[in-house]
């Protein structure tokens, strides 16, 4: 999911190492994703309601051997439950992008048609604001490479399963906005 934001990174990329020069703990990275997501969503006024997906890991492979290199990308998606009217999506994107710029994040990609943007922090984390169909607004956050927690493949970090979602007609998690707001929904 959001690991694609930093695909191609290696454990040697800037921002991937902690103070002691070691690859960071994946649980610490997961907690930092919460800090980033909380910061950008709390900057929006009036406030929005949201649900968090699980904090997941995606194994990274060595560039030459294409075998696991002992690191993962840690990622999380925050789904906005508040229905955002099409006429307000630009204002929401601008509010979140303004927060990111104010925090010193580098805006690396902007698509005004959707709208969407990607912001990178100085320590290698990324945030992506996107709008899906129909009106599904979400934020993805991803870490720089972190130490593999010892699980295989794409996995949810234990204790970071995210919120419980209602099921849609197909039995899948219903991530669609479901709450009206006097400002954002009209």
Q: Is residue 175 part of a domain?
A: no
Q: Is residue 178 part of a domain?
A: no
Return the CATH number at 42: 3.30.2030
- Cα separations (Å) of 158 from 55, 66, 77, 87, 149? 9, 26, 16, 39, 10
- The answer to whether the beta carbons of residues 62 and 121 sit under 8 Å apart is no
The residue among 2 and 154 whose pLDDT is bigger is 154
pLDDT of res. 4: 39
- The answer to whether the beta carbons of residues 36 and 5 sit under 8 Å apart is no
Out of 7-16, 66-75, 152-161, least confident range: 7-16
- Indicate the pLDDT class of residue 183, thresholds 50, 70 and 90: very high
Out of 8-12, 145-149, 178-182, least confident range: 8-12
User: For residue range 51-97, what is the model confidence (pLDDT) as tens digits?
Assistant: 999 999 998 888 899 988 889 999 999 999 999 999 999 999 999 99
Q: Smallest Cα–Cα separation from 162: which of 18, 2, 53? A: 53
Task: Calculate the CA 31 to chain-centre distance.
Answer: 12
Which tokens go with 43? 């900057």
Q: Is residue 93 part of a domain?
A: yes
Report the domain count for the chain: 1
pLDDT of res. 14: 35
Q: Is residue 13 part of a domain?
A: yes
Across the range 126-132, mean pLDDT stands at 96
**What is the extent of the structural domain holding 35?**
2-153
Q: Distance between CA atoms of 172 and 175, rounded to whole angstroms? A: 9
Q: Distance between CA atoms of 180 and 186, rounded to whole angstroms? A: 9
Q: Is residue 185 part of a domain?
A: no
Query: Residue 114 pLDDT more than 60?
Result: yes
What's the pTM value of the predicted model, to 2 decimals? Answer: 0.85
Q: Is residue 37 part of a domain?
A: yes
User: For residue range 32-46, what is the model confidence (pLDDT) as tens digits?
Assistant: 999 999 999 999 999
Phi, psi of 69 (to 5 degrees): -105, 10
Q: Is residue 183 part of a domain?
A: no
Q: Is residue 160 part of a domain?
A: no
Query: Which residues lie closer than 8 Å to 156 by C-beta, 6 or more apart?
Result: 54, 55, 56, 57, 162
């Amino acid at each position: 999911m959001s690991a694609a934001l930093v695909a191609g990174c290696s454990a040697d990329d800037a921002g991937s190492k902690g103070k002691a020069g070691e690859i960071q703990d994946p649980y610490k990275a997961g907690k930092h994703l919460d800090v980033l997501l909380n910061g950008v969503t709390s900057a929006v006024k009036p406030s929005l309601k949201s649900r968090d997906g699980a904090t997941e890991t995606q194994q990274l492979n060595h560039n030459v051997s294409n075998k696991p290199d002992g690191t993962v990308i840690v990622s999380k998606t925050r789904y906005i439950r508040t229905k955002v009217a099409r006429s307000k999506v630009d204002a929401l994107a601008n509010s979140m992008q303004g927060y990111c710029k104010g925090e010193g994040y580098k805006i690396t990609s902007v698509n005004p048609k959707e709208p969407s943007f990607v912001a990178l922090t100085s320590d290698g984390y990324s945030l992506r604001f996107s709008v899906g169909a129909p009106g599904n607004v979400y934020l993805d956050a991803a870490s720089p490479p972190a130490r593999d927690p010892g699980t295989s493949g794409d996995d949810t970090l234990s204790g970071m399963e995210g919120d419980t979602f209602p099921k849609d007609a197909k039995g899948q998690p219903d991530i669609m906005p479901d709450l009206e707001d006097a400002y954002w929904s009209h």
